[in-house]
Amino acid sequence: MVKRGSVAVVAAAGLVLALGGCGGGTDEGGKGEGGKADASGTSGKGSAEPTPAKSPSRQLVKWVGGMCESTVALKDLRSDSAADLGEIRDSEAQADLVARARAVGYLAGTPSAVDDVESGLADLGPSGVPAADRLRDAWLKKVRGVVAELDGVSPNPADGDAEGSAADVDKLVQSLTSPRPDLPALAKQDARLAAAYERAEQCAPGWKPDGQGEDTASPAPDPDGPLPEAADGRNYGACSDGACEVLVTSTANITANDVTVHVSLGDDYVTFQTAGTLMQLGGAGGEAGFGDRLKATVVAHNKDGAVLKFTAP
């Protein structure tokens, strides 16, 4: 019994030795001659380097810049609309005529501002990045929905409630918030968009149209300073062709490009009235539009009068 057990042990030992010798010699790295390993036993092949993102195309940078520009325009439009509505409501406590004039001016100008944004988005076309194109399409759907609603708005509503109509229009404008995910969020998910977003100047913080940042805007004219000289003085006849710059010190009837406008001055505003339009502007830089035939700009206004510029669009 003991002898058989010894043989069994030897046989087992021989089997172990045979198994141990199958692999040949090994080095400390745990690889045979055919393997390439360092001292830690890892493969000698270097780990794959991440593929760097390609530079964005000029077209994509332009597209992203255009999208940022439209987004800024909509943000400014919402802010301006809220401020205008606040002024209209403040005016109601002063005089109905003042409130109505401001409301009519707001109702006349806001639809065209939204139209401009829609045109800018439509002109962008496809970007070639599916997620970005879906964002543009969502924006267009929102803006076009508001444009359709504004098409039925009249600066002179039949019920005479211009102030109420202004509140309804502002509600539509405030609905123009960015779909989600917005462009910055998409840029975090796509290397091409991220690179284009970084390069597009319109996407920089604080960017304003025409390169005018918040800190570089021209200061408003001093309302207490003297009025600049009007190119045509009080010669209102010079406006007949639709282009003139005149001085008004109280009231005046001015016919420009076949549009007759009655102008009257208040302490803080200039009122423009035609047969179907009543608008009121406060301070220099304000513009009043009369369809596609005439535009009036307040160049300067103080206690002595106002310098007005009329142009045919």
pLDDT per residue rounded down to tens, the chain (313 residues): 433 443 333 333 333 333 344 444 444 444 444 443 443 344 444 444 434 556 889 999 999 999 999 999 999 999 999 998 988 888 765 566 777 777 888 888 898 899 999 999 999 999 999 999 999 999 999 999 999 999 888 777 666 788 889 999 999 999 999 999 999 999 999 999 999 999 999 999 999 887 454 444 445 555 567 899 999 999 999 999 999 999 999 999 999 999 999 999 888 889 898 887 788 887 788 888 888 889 999 999 998 999 999 998 7
Q: How far apart are CA 280 and CA 270, in angstroms?
A: 6
Q: How far apart are CA 125 and CA 133, in angstroms?
A: 8
Matching residue, tokens 């597209």? 63
Strands 287-290 vs 278-281: parallel, antiparallel or unpaired:
unpaired
Encoded amino acid at 161, one letter: D
Q: How far apart are CA 37 and CA 45, in angstroms?
A: 8
**DSSP assignment letter at 297:** E
Q: On the CB side of 151, how many CA atoms lie within 13 Å of its CA?
A: 8
Q: How far apart are CA 133 and CA 10, in angstroms?
A: 77
| b/e burial code for range 59-83 (CB count within 10 A of at least 16 → b) | ebbbbbbbbbbbbbbbeebbeebee
- Please report, for the chain, how many H helices and E strands are present, in that order: 7, 8
* Long-range CB pairs of 160-166, under 8 A, 24+ apart, other chains included: 162/99, 162/100, 162/103, 162/104, 162/107, 163/88, 163/89, 163/92, 163/99, 163/100, 163/103, 165/103, 165/107, 166/84, 166/85, 166/88, 166/103, 166/106, 166/107
Encoded amino acid at 209, one letter: P
CA distances from 133 to 185, 186, 197 (A): 14, 11, 15
CA distances from 29 to 17, 19, 32, 34, 43 (A): 22, 20, 9, 12, 10
Q: How far apart are CA 199 and CA 194, in angstroms?
A: 9
Q: Is the distance from CB of 194 to CB of 161 less than 8 angstroms?
A: no
Give me 235's structure tokens: 């010669």
Summarised one tens digit per residue, pLDDT across range 189-242 is 999 999 999 999 999 999 988 745 444 444 555 556 789 999 999 999 999 999
